[in-house]
Chain A
Amino acid sequence: MKDDRAQTAAFDELQDDLPEPHWSVRMLRSLGQQKSAQLGVAILALVVFAALFAPLISPMDPDSQSLTRVMKPPLWEGEGHVFVLGTDHLGRDLFSRLIYGARISLIVGLSATVMAGSLGLMLGLLAGYYGGKIDYLIMRLVDFVLSFPFVLLALAAIGILGPSLWLIVTLISLRQWTIYARIVRGNVLSLREQEYIIASRSIGGSNLRIITRHILPNVIAPVIIIGSLYLGRLIVIEAGLSFLGLGVPPPTPTWGGLLAEGRSYLYVSWWIVTFPGLAITLTVLGSNLVGDWLRDVLDPRLRTR
């Protein structure tokens, strides 16, 4: 017994001396422990699956209308039909439209994240690494962008230029990059003074080599974390624009658009507004939980976000 305890203590000590396990090991380990992270991953996986395989899993054509089956309630209200979540005011199957709606939400959310992330990463690297005038200019640009009420300006721009998927993605990115730029710049500023960077420079490493080989790998983690933390909010912005009739134009099913259509029939058919909103909430919840988890594992210093 005593032996056992001594052994355990010795083992613990040994463990303390070991280097921190690889990030992928830490991620899997904490995924095993955290229920909220599991929930988040499960939800996101489900949504991505639905978006990818929409034609295979949706029971009906999302655009096929029929006046004989207008506004049927969900299956469990028992009217003897086959529409799982009921039908809308044109007789389209709500469940199928929801599945297809996942596509627009994810496309907008992910492409805006990638666009804003790469722009912010690049400008943040430049500002942090070169400092001086470049830094000053980029950071003033960040302040400038943040001085305006984004949603309002985007609304006006979309309203006048006409709604389209890429305009929405571009507008969201034009604002989001500032968040990445700030974080990356801060990280680069402290990395720049590290010994291995100075060493690399003293043996003649070029700026390009130092940035791509030594700095970039160290700032990728925060970029991924910020991306996942904000993904949910971008999905809400997209849904909000669609709700106002300024999103990807119909008949493409979007969750926000479904809500807007259902709003007129609030008194007669509760399901048309209820389910799209649930889908948005679940997706946002999933991405928020995944974001929290990635942050806790990869970079707990970002906790204040």
Chain B
Amino acid sequence: MAGLILRRLIQAVVLIKCVLIFVFLLVHLSGDPVRIMMPDDSTEEDIAIVRHEMGLDKPLFTQYVIFFKNVALHGDFGESFEHGESALKVVLEHLPATVELATTAFLLSIFIGLPLGCLAALKENTVYDKSLMVGAVLGQAVPDFWFGLMMILFFSVKLNWLPPFGYGNWDHIVMPAITASLFHLARLARLMRSEMIEVLRQDYILTARSKGLSENVVLFKHALKNSAIPIVTVLGIDLALTLGGTVITETVFAWPGVGRLTVAAIHNRDYPIVQATVFLLASIFVIINMLVDILYTYLDPRIQYR
């Protein structure tokens, strides 16, 4: 176990380093970063001065070493052009809102998706099951950003029940959380249903029932537990995806999180912010994946990690 954890840690460090190289190269791949950052009417001298000030006239590898040292030792991605502060600081300030949205959405999809899927499995082939599955199929087909806009149209414009955008009160998070969880909720419900149906057909369920165990014990102790393992894997991936994927939801609802910050920074060519957010979110993604892998081998020892 210790060996496994160590190996996964080393892997995670290598992956995070790759992200760092990616965000470094990204700015250079775009051609001349100075020219892109500067206004169109700046003179050649201005460009040369800025290039020298930013150290962009040094060889590429030297620049990478400097960039790497700054990030690794000081968490320094440079100053945001837009905010005039350390880019990492700006990004960290926006992180709590994203975490709040992602965890709410994640919890929503667990606490609604899983019970719905279970119920559908227990009432297989009834009207309830069928309508639920039609709902789930639709839920996976609807693009989340459009669903969000439709909710705004209905609940904010028509009924005036919920604020269309913003951050602060409890009612601000309702629509964003539903939007961000929609796809995962639908998929989770479908997966839970098929896993549960599969498990309920197994011999040990028949045995448990014929022993005279109550239906509740059969369902909760035998069926639910055995259908949990594939669900846990998907959940882990989902959590990582939701955290990295709130970009669109945040844009729709003007949610002041990292995703919206990234999109705005991309449009404003505020590269230090783009580099810092991509690096931070990708690192979180890598770390969650690592934790899920470790947890998974712990839960199911039959899986040998290569």
Q: Given A159-B266, A159-B267, A244-B263, are A152 and B141 neighbors across the interface (CB < 8 Å)?
A: no
- Whether A259 sits at the interface, judged by CB under 8 Å, is yes
| CA distance in complex: A156, B274 (Å) | 7
Interface residues on B, range: 35 or more
Give chain A's interface residues, CB within 8 Å of chain B. 144, 147-149, 151-153, 155-157, 159-162, 232, 236, 239-240, 243-246, 256, 259, 263, 266-267, 270, 273-274, 276-277, 280-281, 284-285, 288-289, 303-304
Taking a contact as CB atoms under 8 Å apart, the answer to whether B141 and A273 are in contact is: no
Taking a contact as CB atoms under 8 Å apart, the answer to whether B26 and A147 are in contact is: no
**Which one, A155, A266, A267, A284, contacts B143 given CB within 8 A?**
A284
| CA distance in complex: A151, B30 (Å) | 19
Taking a contact as CB atoms under 8 Å apart, the answer to whether B22 and A152 are in contact is: no
Taking a contact as CB atoms under 8 Å apart, the answer to whether B26 and A156 are in contact is: yes
Q: Given A277-B150, A281-B146, A285-B138, are A151 and B263 neighbors across the interface (CB < 8 Å)?
A: no
Question: In terms of DSSP, what is the predominant structure of the interface of chain A?
Answer: helix
Please, which residues of chain B bring their CB within 8 A of the CB of A161?
29-30
**Which one, B147, B164, B247, B286, contacts A151 given CB within 8 A?**
B247
3 smallest A-B Cβ distances: which pairs?
A277-B146, A159-B266, A149-B244
Least CB distance, B20 to chain A, in whole angstroms: 12
Please, which residues of chain A bring their CB within 8 A of the CB of B278?
152-153, 156
Least CB distance, A104 to chain B, in whole angstroms: 15
Question: What per-residue 1/0 map shows which CB atoms of B246-285 lie under 8 Å from chain A?
Answer: 0110011000000000110011000100100010011001
Taking a contact as CB atoms under 8 Å apart, the answer to whether A160 and B141 are in contact is: no
Which residue from chain B places its CB closest to the CB of A148 in the assembled complex? B282
Please, which residues of chain B bring their CB within 8 A of the CB of A232?
141
Taking a contact as CB atoms under 8 Å apart, the answer to whether B262 and A152 are in contact is: yes
Taking a contact as CB atoms under 8 Å apart, the answer to whether A273 and B19 are in contact is: no
Least CB distance, B239 to chain A, in whole angstroms: 12
Taking a contact as CB atoms under 8 Å apart, the answer to whether A236 and B244 are in contact is: no
Least CB distance, A227 to chain B, in whole angstroms: 17
Taking a contact as CB atoms under 8 Å apart, the answer to whether B146 and A244 are in contact is: no
